[in-house]
Amino acid sequence: MLITLTLMTLLNTYPRAMEVTEIDTALDKVICVDAVGYEWEYYGVEDYVVGDLVICTMYDNGTKENITDDEIIDVIYSGYERR
């Protein structure tokens, strides 16, 4: 889903740190988990690997009290978690 960035959209965004937990190259899908345990996904595998840390810009869909309808609108590589 393409979201046009407007002032209202920017007021409804926030950053969220996550760890990549699964890569599905067939579907070009990356699955990641935030610190609270919520699982999120986005498309565009590129060169991400399991264990990568990413910062996602989240859009709250205008419902600040409900995180379950939030969407990832941008992803920035942040580092790698050594195990």
| Distance separating alpha carbons of residues 42 and 17, to the nearest angstrom | 14
| Distance separating alpha carbons of residues 14 and 67, to the nearest angstrom | 11
For the chain, the C-alpha Rg in angstroms (whole number) is 13
Q: What is the pLDDT of residues 5-49, one digit of tens each?
A: 666 677 899 999 999 999 999 999 999 999 999 999 999 999 999
Supply the pLDDT for residue 59.
93
Largest CA distance in the chain: 41
Supply the pLDDT for residue 21.
97
Supply the pLDDT for residue 16.
97
CATH architecture of 7-80: Beta Barrel (2.40)
Supply the pLDDT for residue 78.
94
Q: What is the pLDDT of residues 42-74, one digit of tens each?
A: 999 999 999 999 999 999 998 989 999 999 999
Q: Where are the domains of the chain?
A: 7-80
- Any residues with CB less than 8 A from the CB of 29 and at least 6 apart, and which? 23, 41, 42, 43, 45
- Any residues with CB less than 8 A from the CB of 6 and at least 6 apart, and which? none
Q: What 3-state class would DSSP assign to 13?
A: strand
